Structure formats: structure tokens, C-alpha cells
Copies of this chain bind each other. A is one copy, B any other.
Amino acid sequence: MTTEQLEAQIHLKKSFLCIGLDVDISKIPKHLLELEDPIFAFNKAIIDATHHLCVAYKPNTAFYEAYGIKGWQALEKTIKYLNKQYPEIFTVADAKRGDIGNTSTMYAKAFFEDLAFDSVTVAPYMGKDSVEPFLAFNNKHTIMLALTSNKGAFDFQTKKVDNKELYKEVLETSKSWKNSKNLMYVVGATKAEYFKEIREIIPNSFLLVPGIGAQGGNLQDVCKYGLSKNVGLLINSSRGIIYASNKNDFAKVATIKAEELQQQMEVILKKHHAAIE
């Protein structure tokens, strides 16, 4: 999917919501456990109930790897279902991968070709030659960790390197990498005030923003500082939508929770368009 196609979906659906498919068997409704593939059944129900309210889905690979081969089969079925039924949806493999050159190419093939995701998250620690192999794929997007939403973000990411925080150095440096137009960045919602300075470095890049809801981030604050001219935000919510109910009505309740966020986003987009016109 191209960036322009993603932007068109945002305008069409009046939403920049990404739903995290982080499926923990112990948290899903009990009646699903009798099915052959409870993880896929759960995902399918959530997707069918929310696809009109969001523009992206983001399975975190950890939740699938934890169930071994069965987990990978569920991930494969989920992405195939998404690509077939809802090809207009942007898909994110939240894998946080990164390795030396030829090995990163193997990861890129796994997620971009074998599984046919639109994007994958990567870690920046190993530098340019660990990320450029991902950037080489046309119309695929590499979402690099910049400032994450956890406490540990303050251990290294905000440490000063040459008088600027490491995450800013990461943002700045990555702009010079080959095919950097294929880069997006992870920026946690729990630090809304940081978005202003981030936008000075990367005014137009898409930011994938976890941390709304369960982790304490605020949608209004993030949008105030984080929106770009072309929106440029994908706000992720996982637990707040997919585990809002663990009863038979879980899909219906997920619709309600996703709709609440979509409607807030619709208002924000309306104001934003009025402001920049």
C-alpha cells in the first residue's frame, strides 16, 4: 500500500485508528477456546466488527510466537484474511526486528513477502545497515522505534547524545538513509509534549502511536502536537478495544469502543482541516 492510499483511507473513514491484535488466550471469551483456532476466530470476529472504524490492524508477533507453530498459523490466517477481505486496510507486523544486513533481508522477506504485511516495526540500535534492507521494499513501510511508551524509554532513548536526546539523533540520522521515504516511526502517546519537537525533525512522516488508553496517553494532546498537514498519525489501541468485554458480546463491545475513538478522531480531523485550509 502506498502512503497516499493510506491517507485516502483516513479521509474516507474519518479515522486514523489502528487496532492492536495482541491476542492472549487467557483473556479471550471462554467459548472461543472450544474452536479449532481460537486466536484466529477471535481476530476474525474483532476485524469483522471494527474494520469500518479503523484504517490499520497491528498484530504483535510476540503473542503469536508464544503459542509456537499454532500461533504462527493463526498469524498467517489473520493476515491472509485481512488481505483478502479488507485489502484497503493497512497492516502492521509489530515485530521490532533488526539484525545485520543479509539477516534483516530475511526478516523483511518474512514479513513483506511471505506474510504480505504492508509494514513492520524495527529497532534502531544496530544502525543503518540493519534497517536499509527493510527500506529496499517498494510500497512497504518500515516503522522504526524512536520514543517508546514504556518507562524503559528513559534508560537510553532520552539520554543526551551530542546535546540532543538519542531518539532525536535516531530520527535525524535515519532521514539520510537510502529509501528513507519508506520510514515511519513509533512514538509513544504517554509523552505528548515531545511531539512538538519531533515534528520539527520529521514534519511529514507517519507516526505509529501506542499508549492511548490503558497506558495513560491522551488522544487530544497527541493530536494537538502530533498531527501533520496530511494527518500523519496512526493511533493504536489494543486492550481498550479487544478486551473491553470477555463475554459473548466481545465483538459488539469492541465496535462500541472503536466507534468512540473514531468519533473523537472525526471531530479532530474536521477541526484540523478547517485550521489548515
Chain A contact residues, CB within 8 Å of chain B: 22, 24, 60, 62-63, 65-69, 71-73, 76, 94, 96-101, 103-104, 106-107, 109-110, 114-115, 123-131, 145, 148-157, 159-162, 166, 169-170, 173
Contacts and interface: CB of A to CB of B under 8 A. Distances in A.
A73 B123 CA distance: 26
Contacts of A154: 127
28 contacts: A62-B104, A62-B106, A63-B103, A63-B106, A65-B107, A66-B110, A68-B110, A68-B114, A69-B69, A69-B76, A96-B97, A96-B98, A100-B148, A100-B149, A123-B123, A124-B156, A125-B125, A125-B156, A126-B145, A126-B150, A127-B151, A127-B154, A128-B152, A129-B150, A129-B151, A129-B152, A131-B152, A166-B166
A127 B98 contact: no
Contacts of A72: 68-69, 72
Contact of A153 (B68, B126, B150): B126
A123 B131 CA distance: 14
